Amino acid sequence: MPNQINTYFTRFLKWRYKHISNKTFTHIMSVMVGLLAGLAAVTLKNITYFIQSLAEKGIVLSGNELHFILPIIGLTLVYLYVKFVHKDRLQHAISSILFALSKRKGVIPLKKIYTPLITAPLTVGFGGSVGLLGPAVASGSAISSNLGNLFHVNAKTRSLLIACASAGAIASIFQSPIAAIIFAVEVFSLDLTMISMLPLLLASISGVLTSYFFMGNEVLFDFNLTDNFEVKDTMFYIILGVGTAFASIYFTKMYFAILKLFEPFKSPKYRLLVGGLAIGTMLYFIPALYGEGFGFINNLLHGEHIKALGETPFNEYLDNIWVVILLLFSITVFKAIATTTTFAAGGAGGIFIPTMVMGSALGNMVAKIINNIGLDFNVSESNFTLIGMAGLIAGVIHAPLTAIFLIAEITGGYELFVPLMITASISYLITKNTVDYTIYTRELAERGALLTHDKDQTVLTLMQLDDVIEKNFKTVRPETTLGEMLHNSVAKSTRNIFPVIDAKKALLGIVLLDDIREFMFDTSLYATTTVETFMHAAPEHIFYDKDSMQEVMQKFQDSGAWNLPVIKDGKYLGFVSKSKLLTAYRRKLINFTK
């Protein structure tokens, strides 16, 4: 039976190559990817909400005390799944996709289709303070990558389909097709050309339709904009932009600081216990940190801040608006801590939606301060809640256009374009000039694996060192005589450079043909002179596991050499020639831009 299926599939592929152009097939695949990514997102949401509803019934019956134990339960279940089923370290969803695009030609393992659908609902459903967008994008991207492999598409098309999957997943979750396309362009550094525009559009539409089909007209934010932008409030939106910028910088720095704080805990069990208790403690005092936080945002948008804050130990003081403001500020501060602690403890999820929660709390807090400082100012708290979300997204993700269009689409708030642009642009500019890389990209940048909109840098990132290493060089030992070198190496080599290695294959130096040219015909030196006499150090070394292609190119430029040796694990591996490197670069650039 399997052989028969393979035969039919092979016939289909042959028929496809004959009758369907690559362009048309890419469009068909983008629709399919959008539908499947949307389905993955819907499945993820429903599983999470089911777990969350069961957990919340327990909370209602027991009070806030259950907050202490629920995160540990969820993290324990994730730990058991990872240990016995996944058997690999969980990776940050978006970062792992970006790495696959830059270094693995868009190839993503099959198990990453279903792993996010299991680990993320367990984490979020039991109170982990992370979001579902990242896992939805990860699952959709894995689906698109494996479909690309199945239908034998090239690496460039596979990368485009991964971007289509992200657009489909985001469009399905937020029902915002335009923002979904812009997210794919901003975060995945995709060139927005007509070649990529139509597949992204088709995938985004497919994702939205999938959401409507399974979820109906249910929307994340049940809110209608009633307050329009007023010019007199411009200064306040500028202040909000500065505030969201500082909050974005705080979130980014706090993220890496807490991860570093957990590094001494070598055992995942200790991380789970410490992280779970820390999250439970935060949830006890600030229940609004529980899970994703969409309910919190919706309550703020409807002016129900008491309901948004939940049952806290400070309920008897909520008649005082400044206590409410202080609690909103604490949510802004501790959401970043709770989110990062969830990751550090072994949980799975994303940072996009927690960013929105932080922004909504900060925006609402700023509006309440303006309205209650006694200077007769009156601004729309719901508008500031929305625009605060845009400011945080622009700052934390470095995606200002995504922030603007997402908030506009999900709320129907196109009337707020001007304040959205003011706040998002200020937040982005300040954050970008303070923090070079985002939570998604910092580790990739340090490894030289980050794709950007800079074509030269992107082409170098896409290049693989293995593709330009040449190994057809005759090696010699330092004690080898000149005569042995001439007969056994020079006479049998087409190259003019000879690496000198020791018994452990460590590179000691090199000998150029020019170094021995004047002695080649002096037979009296054949037995008395050794290679060590002519050996000298290479002008520079390329380290296989350390140097990025950008660094390799820089070493050629600084040294002026035409050939540089490659060292792997302390041993000689081969050479990279400048001519081959530049030829490979030119071919990759042509393929990337056509």
Could you tell me which residues are beta bridge partners of residue 536?
A: 510
> Quick one: which of 119, 152, 146 has its CA closest to 44?
119
CA pair distance 141, 583, nearest whole angstrom:
31
Residue 327 has what pLDDT? 93
Question: CB count, 10 Å around CB of 531?
Answer: 23
Tell me, what amino acid is at 173? I
Residue 297: what are its φ and ψ, rounded to 5°? -65, -45
CA pair distance 168, 187, nearest whole angstrom:
14
Tell me, what amino acid is at 486? L
Could you tell me which residues are beta bridge partners of residue 470?
A: 575
Residue 204 has what pLDDT? 94
Residue 413 has what pLDDT? 59
Residue 66 has what pLDDT? 66
Domains, in order of start, for the chain: 2-215 (1.10.3080.10), 231-447 (1.10.3080.10), 457-593 (3.10.580.10)
Q: Using an 8 Å Cβ cutoff, are 126 and 66 in contact?
A: no
> Quick one: which of 451, 474, 445, 481 has its CA closest to 463?
451
**How do 571-577 and 563-568 pair as beta strands?**
antiparallel
Residue 459 has what pLDDT? 62
Residue 61 has what pLDDT? 44
Helices (H), 126-233: 133-150, 155-174, 177-187, 194-215
Residues (pLDDT < 70) of the chain are 1-5, 57-67, 190-194, 216-223, 413, 446-462, 588-594
Straight-line distance from the first to the last Cα atom of the chain, in angstroms, rounded to the nearest whole number:
42
Q: Using an 8 Å Cβ cutoff, are 89 and 33 in contact?
A: no
CA 445, 449, 454, 460 dihedral sign is: positive
Question: CB count, 10 Å around CB of 91?
Answer: 16
CA pair distance 66, 283, nearest whole angstrom:
10
Which helix (H) or strand (E) segment holds residue 496: the answer is none
Q: What is the pTM of this model?
A: 0.80
